[in-house]
Amino acid sequence: MKKGFFSLCLASVLFGMVALSSTPENPSEDQAVKLSDQTEECLECHRTISPGIVEDWLSGSHAHMTPAGAMEKTELGLKVSSKAVPEKLLSVAVGCYECHSLNAESHTDNFEHFDYKINVVVSPKDCATCHTKEQEQYSSTKKSFAYGNLKKNPVFHKLVETIISLKEFKDGEIIQLEASPSTEAETCYGCHGTLIEVTGTRTFETELGEIQVPQLANWPNQGVGRINPDGSQGACTACHPRHSFSIEIARKPETCSQCHLEPDLPAWNVYRESKHGNIYSSVHHKWNWTKVPWTVGKDFKAPTCAVCHNSLIVDPDGEVIAERSHDFGARLWVRLFGLIYAHPQPKSGDTYTITNADGLPLPTTFKGEPASDFLMEEESQKQQQSKMTKVCTSCHSTDWAEGHFDKLHKTIEETNRMTAVATDLMLSVWDKGWANPANPFDEAIEQKWILQWLFYSNSVRYASAMSGPDYASFKNGWWNLTKNLQEMKYIFKKKQ
């Protein structure tokens, strides 16, 4: 292929870019920057073959900024946290080749593509070339370990298998068969992340001749704890979708809502019906979604997921209220999501390493005793709570915020007691031999017990944390906790 031809094609790409640039995400980036020769060559074909992603990339910051330019920003506005971006990347736009060629040696998915060595999957380790701090923060979190936290925890794994396995009806019984990797990938591991593995090579016929690409198992996937072909954990694209990597999208609560939703984890659902969510829904179109740092009251009028949990928030004088963190537990002290009880946040993201007093890899025993060695201590909890409180007090009095969290702690205590009541009933059922505890998840009454802690107690706690009274009452809340408990008792009585 001749260079002159590429340049010609590029010219039209650039004109395209300029045309688009009238409304780039961040107007201050409205300028044509130099593309690398390699990226020019990628674009030559891919602007026709996959025009959607090329246009999407053109609408994002990566197409309009060089790392060197990005690093000139003031400290609070800085998005490139690496102090040492490689020389060859510094002065060109962040294009196809810049990302898809990084750390090729560790990528089992690297393949030869028109004389270039290309990785199919761009991993957090690759993104860390420029965004070092973000990847570091993320790497030790529960999210980063989300794959192993399911797969390597035999209790959770049994729950997953029980739910998603094929079944058979035989002699009046339901027989549990195998679960397929395909269904694993479409259910739990859709959010938790899959194990991406190269299983061979696939050959395509194209207009430019035969093309060979790696065959990947459990791909595509954007789960937060994805195991990438370079061995790294995570997928930045879970929240910053390809190829605009838009900060607006990452900041919108709908992004979080892909995984944090009812019935087990109704953070989004509760938020949407809260006063904060109502203000968001009503007037978010007037907010500034791309500003960094993000100014309370000016750029946004009500908190979103990102405001409370991880964005860099400043007051109108530029004073920092909360620091950016890609550890989404950086302002958390208690874990509302009960397994089976709500408990202090685990000290480490790899929760499958926890062992409780029953010898199970769970943060509490079935009786509610916490595996304290693995959980955040009281002093750290207080520090975390005060970080969150600082966000609240941008708008509310300290009094207000403390009162709010007092109520949450009371609700955690009450819902944990409700889980204990249902568990008492189950312990009695197991004790009497009316259900088989070898698999505590597969019989009708056991599944009602799961509803109590996984759906209803969790919903009440999220409803308390974000003030969504419907989820605390009738929508998977106290109504359901009460009604389902009566139904468990009804089955219990029938067994007698």
Site for a second copy in 295-354 (CB under 8 A): 296-298, 301, 315-317
Q: Residue 115 interacts with a second copy (CB under 8 A)?
A: no
Q: Considering only residues 82, 103, 106, 257, which one is a binding residue for a second copy as defined by CB under 8 A?
A: 257
Task: Check residue 496 for interaction with a second copy (CB under 8 A).
Answer: yes
The first and second tokens of residue 262, run together, are: 């009812």
In the block, tokens 């694993």 appear at 184
45 is a contact residue toward a second copy (CB under 8 A): no
User: In this structure, which amino acid lies at residue 415?
Assistant: T
- Residues near 450 by beta carbon (within 8 Å), at least 6 away in sequence: 159, 441
- Contact flags string 226-255 toward a second copy, x per CB under 8 A: ---------------x--x-x-xx--x-xx
Does residue 153 belong to the site contacting a second copy (CB under 8 A)? no
Contact between 23 and 246 (Cβ < 8 Å) = no
H or E segment and range at residue 56? helix 51-58
Dmax (CA) of the chain: 85
Q: Which residue has the tokens 């970080």?
A: 387
What's the token pair of residue 123? 């991993």
Show the tokens assigned to 59: 């609408």
> First CA to last CA across the chain, in angstroms?
81
Interaction between residue 2 and a second copy (CB under 8 A): no
Of residues 68, 279, 330, 360, which one binds a second copy by CB under 8 A?
279
Say whether 175 sits in a helix, a strand or coil.
strand
How many residues line the site for a second copy (CB under 8 A)? Answer: 126
For a second copy, the binding residue among 81, 82, 140, 187 (CB under 8 A) is 187
- Spatial contact of 63 and 57, defined as CB atoms under 8 Å apart: yes
Instruction: Note whether 386 binds a second copy by CB under 8 A.
Output: no
Closer by beta carbon to a second copy, 40 or else 67: 40
CB of 29 vs a second copy, minimal distance in Å: 15
> Is 61 a binder of a second copy (CB under 8 A)?
no
Site residues (CB under 8 A) for a second copy, limited to 65-84: none
- What is the smallest separation between the CB atom of 71 and a second copy, expressed in angstroms? 27
DSSP code of residue 230: T
Burial status of residue 243 (CB atoms within 10 A of its CB: 0-12, 13-18, 19 or more): buried
Q: Does 191 participate in binding a second copy (rule CB under 8 A)?
A: yes
Q: Which amino acid does the sequence have at 250?
A: A
CB of 348 to a second copy, least distance (A): 25
Single residue of 103, 104, 106, 263 touching a second copy by CB under 8 A: 263
Backbone φ and ψ of 421, nearest 5° = -60, -45
Closer CB to a second copy, 101 or 290, in the complex = 290
Range 442-481, binding a second copy (CB under 8 A): 442-444, 447, 455, 460, 463-464, 467, 469-470, 472-475, 477-479
